[in-house]
A and B are shown apart, each in its own frame.
Chain A
């Protein structure tokens, strides 16, 4: 039996049944990391000793019946912008390259309570700003399907690690597509939950009104299991929403009869790669054959989502990243003259080009005289975009779309033209603006063998509908990352 080819839930079952120990699974995964990391570079830090120690403790708890959940003893990885007490949390930035949080993020605490074995922290675009994981201070992550290509971003390390079987599942964060787009590029399942479903406490903020933590997994069942573990109403996060449902496992039924699926015709325009378009339409057909009612419609406002997103995200980021100043934690410049020079040198040396670009833009759009024209205009556009989705969900249970206009680009081809890179977020950012859940599931590969992901978008709190449709697709086609 190949331990590494198991899904997280399958592994959990075997550990519980005593067929495999948590220690064996951890050792196998660590060996895979050792083998694959030179090729993939999915991790910023791997804590092998810590993982083995956790495996021993958790195995004991499982044997004593103290841990019974589906994820007990399963090795996982955490994106490096999610805090874990005493462990480096760098956001793939020089400015936090030595930072060890003194507390653990709420979502990670829930995973630890569920018996997760945390292997390490995964690479990402610096402060989650980027679509390729190439803006990492620690160097890029490579796409396991073709190391000449990027894994996508910003949760590129988390997605690559799952795809390369360097962990059974991982956590990512999604501000404008940072879970769904790299999941699509790496051929794994990634979910951005409804805003407020997973606590942001302990997630280093990029765009606070848009950020959500979500699961990245090999299949839909694992996705439901991890979401069940991490979703919570957290009093430490004022924007956390009290939901009626926190158990997502019940949604795993292969049944889409009567499900109303809308495909935004205005997504299928010139920017969309032909192979991707075909794969998405073919996937829609699969659901149709299973009894779903599939229709095309016009979502409208598509081209305004990216400009509105970049104004809002950059503005919030410019403020969120002010705290990195060399006073309380992280990097401080070596030589400086006086306070303001210390600030400037620390930040100029500590941040990379893309982060600085967004901080500059964000500071500008909030500055005196421009706030109304840019920031408020973007917030008004956001209201219109949300209204457009509300209207769509009057007619459809699910919106079916590509996760990205192309498959993974080659390494080194994206950062030269930032605006062009931003445009690749066209199918994902509006979901964040409207606070909706969105799931990416692999539906095929292009001629180069690079994965293509389908995005399913639901109305607020409709994760179960997304999971059910995705599960149906997966069962029917047998397409899973193994």
Chain B
């Protein structure tokens, strides 16, 4: 049952998670993930074929807001922590060429 994680998988997950791992970190991540997945695989001992996946513990539903404007101009607050500000916007490296 031992899980094998390939270099490609680690690289792929790095792209999804936007993490750039060093060579050493990649090898560590592979080992960690293999170990964790082996452990997680113990869940397969359980027969859950008749069990519905449970996201919320309580059967709460229909929690709504009314369609009423409650927020005023919060531009300065929104931008207060910006690492790089351009005018009244957040500034980022160019998105499309």
Contacts and interface: CB of A to CB of B under 8 A. Distances in A.
Specify the main secondary structure of chain A where it touches its partner.
helix
Contact of B92 (A98, A195, A342): A342
A239 B60 contact: yes
Given A102-B74, A339-B94, A344-B19, A303 B42 contact: yes
Contacts of B60: 196, 239, 241
A304 interface: yes
A353 B35 CA distance: 16
Contacts of B83: 326-327, 329-332
Contacts of B68: none
B86 to A, nearest CB: 12
B5 to A, nearest CB: 8
Interface stretch (A126-134, A166-174, A278-286, A361-369): A361-369
Given A359-B19, A364-B13, A379-B53, A102 B80 contact: yes
A382 interface: yes
A360 interface: yes
Q: Chain B: interface residue count, which band?
A: 35 or more
A310 interface: yes
B48 interface: yes
Contact of B36 (A238, A310, A337, A367): A310
B49 to A, nearest CB: 9
B81 interface: yes
A418 interface: yes
Interface in A368-394: 374, 376-384, 386
A448 interface: no
B36 A386 contact: no
A377 B36 contact: no
A359 B13 CA distance: 9
Choose among A235, A357, A364, A379 the residue with the greatest number of B CB atoms under 10 Å from its CB.
A364
A364 B12 CA distance: 9
Contact of B54 (A102, A238, A303, A382): A382
Interface in A389-425: 418-419
Nearest to A340: B18
Interface string B1-32: 00000000110111011111100010001001
Contacts, number: 156
Nearest to A436: B57
A380 B52 contact: yes
Given A209-B56, A377-B43, A367 B18 contact: no
A222 interface: no
Contact of B17 (A310, A339, A363): A363
A365 B13 CA distance: 10
B69 interface: no
A78 to B, nearest CB: 19
A468 B29 CA distance: 46
Interface in A336-363: 336-345, 347-348, 351, 353, 356-357, 359-361, 363
Contacts of B92: 327, 339, 342
Contacts of B74: 102
Contacts of A64: none
Contact of A379 (B17, B54, B78): B54
A195 B31 CA distance: 34
Contacts of B14: 344, 360
B57 A343 contact: no
A179 interface: no
B44 interface: yes
A307 B38 CA distance: 10
A301 B43 CA distance: 10
5 A-B pairs with least C-beta separation: A379-B53, A435-B57, A329-B81, A380-B48, A332-B83
23 contacts: A100-B80, A195-B58, A239-B56, A301-B46, A306-B39, A307-B40, A322-B18, A329-B82, A338-B93, A339-B95, A342-B92, A345-B20, A347-B17, A347-B20, A348-B19, A348-B21, A357-B32, A360-B14, A360-B19, A363-B13, A382-B53, A418-B32, A419-B39
